[in-house]
């Protein structure tokens, strides 16, 4: 996805998240801070990990008030430590208070995925194998979760069903076999699309090779069968390994010589990185206009 499209899609999702959290007004904040007052707050790491999503974090605030400013002390992809000051956020106190949860939800989730991905990617150091994600993402979060994988050192598999052809067991059953499924895909899809076939047995691997598949996924095969499958393919297709991949098994798969290891766990099983906005402090209102961003009624709208 190109950066312009990504930004437009991201803004739409962030607006929805803000509107979910502020349906009419932030009652707590408007009770204690009814008028605009300039403030600052610290973004602090509460665990070691890899930071990812700083731009999304900032956007959650600037969609409420474009004058909000985030002074980041780290960059996406950096390793961070428990207790480290990651950023200072400056702006209307009401915006800092009302946008806090949404901004942190995105940043913690993305950073958790990046942290887990970095651990998995580090286990592949010195091999030719690429670590990739899957479509096993949280609904409405794919654009953020796949970006987090990339920032953690992984690669993105197809973004969605329109990106490439992947023929799974049910597609193969519907077509009446691997050969028929590949022929049908070649006839329907653009010549720019790769065709991947998911194989669970050596017989399926043979059929996929003979049919001219571009990528063959070895799905949930044991070590011995996977080694035999790689020998059968013999360089005639890209080899992807998938199924129950974790830190204990990933290096063994890479040492077999597979080209790609895809893991749904990168997105569906990663936890969060614990982060916090702390120590909010009011700043003297020197020359600040009383006209505030109307976050109570227009959460998520550009001003």
Residues 95-107 pLDDT 10s: 999 999 999 999 9
Work out the mean pLDDT of the chain and round it to a whole number: 92
Q: Return binding residues.
A: 101, 134-136, 158, 168, 198, 219, 242-244, 263-265
Give the residue numbers marked as catalytic. 101, 136, 168, 198, 219
Each residue's pLDDT, cut to its tens digit, for the chain (303 residues) gives 555 556 778 999 999 999 999 999 999 999 999 999 999 999 999 999 999 999 999 999 999 999 999 999 999 999 999 999 999 999 999 999 999 999 999 999 999 999 999 999 999 999 999 999 999 999 999 999 999 999 999 999 999 999 999 999 999 999 999 999 999 999 999 999 999 999 999 999 999 999 999 999 999 999 999 999 999 999 999 999 999 899 989 999 999 999 999 999 999 999 999 999 999 999 965 444 333 444 443 444 443
User: In CATH, what number does 122-268 get?
Assistant: 3.20.20.70
Q: Given CA atoms 294, 297, 298, 300 in this order, what sign does their dihedral have?
A: positive
Domain ranges for the chain, please list them.
Answer: 7-119+271-282, 122-268
pLDDT at 137: 97
Instruction: Give the C-alpha separation, 239 to 225, whole Å.
Output: 13
**pLDDT confidence of residue 285:** 54
pLDDT score, position 288: 42
Annotated binding site for substrate: 101, 134-136, 158, 168, 198, 219, 242-244, 263-265
Instruction: With beta carbons less than 8 A apart as the criterion, state whether 56 and 257 touch.
Output: no
Domains 7-119+271-282 and 122-268 share a fold: no
CATH topology of domain 7-119+271-282: Aldehyde Oxidoreductase; domain 3 (3.90.1170)
């Amino acid at each position: 996805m190109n950066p312009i499209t990504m930004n437009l899609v991201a803004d739409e999702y962030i607006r929805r998240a803000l509107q979910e959290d502020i349906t009419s007004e932030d009652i707590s904040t408007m009770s204690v801070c009814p008028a605009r007052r300039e403030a600052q707050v610290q973004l602090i790491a509460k665990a070691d990990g890899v930071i990812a999503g700083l731009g999304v974090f900032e956007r959650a605030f600037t969609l409420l008030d474009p004058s909000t400013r985030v002074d980041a002390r780290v960059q996406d992809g950096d390793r961070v430590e428990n207790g480290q000051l990651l950023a200072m956020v400056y702006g209307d106190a009401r915006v800092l208070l009302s946008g806090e949860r949404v901004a942190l939800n995105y940043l913690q989730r993305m950073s958790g995925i990046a942290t887990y991905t970095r651990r998995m990617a580090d286990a592949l150091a010195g091999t030719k194998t690429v670590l990739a994600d899957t479509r096993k993402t949280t609904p409405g979060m794919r654009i953020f979760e796949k970006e987090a994988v990339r920032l953690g050192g992984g690669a993105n598999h197809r973004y969605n069903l329109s990106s490439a052809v992947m023929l799974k067991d049910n597609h193969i059953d519907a077509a009446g076999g691997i050969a028929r499924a590949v022929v049908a895909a070649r006839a329907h899809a653009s010549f720019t699309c790769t065709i991947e076939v998911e194989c669970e047995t050596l017989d399926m691997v043979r059929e996929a090779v003979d049919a001219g598949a571009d990528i063959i996924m070895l799905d949930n095969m044991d070590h011995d069968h996977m080694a035999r499958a790689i020998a059968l393919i013999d360089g005639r297709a890209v080899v992807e390994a998938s199924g129950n991949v974790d830190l204990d098994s990933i290096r063994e798969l890479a040492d077999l010589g597979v080209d790609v290891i895809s893991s749904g766990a990168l997105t569906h099983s990663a936890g969060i990185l614990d982060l916090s906005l702390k120590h909010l402090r009011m700043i003297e209102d020197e020359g600040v206009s009383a006209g505030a961003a109307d976050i109570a009624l227009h959460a998520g709208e550009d001003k």
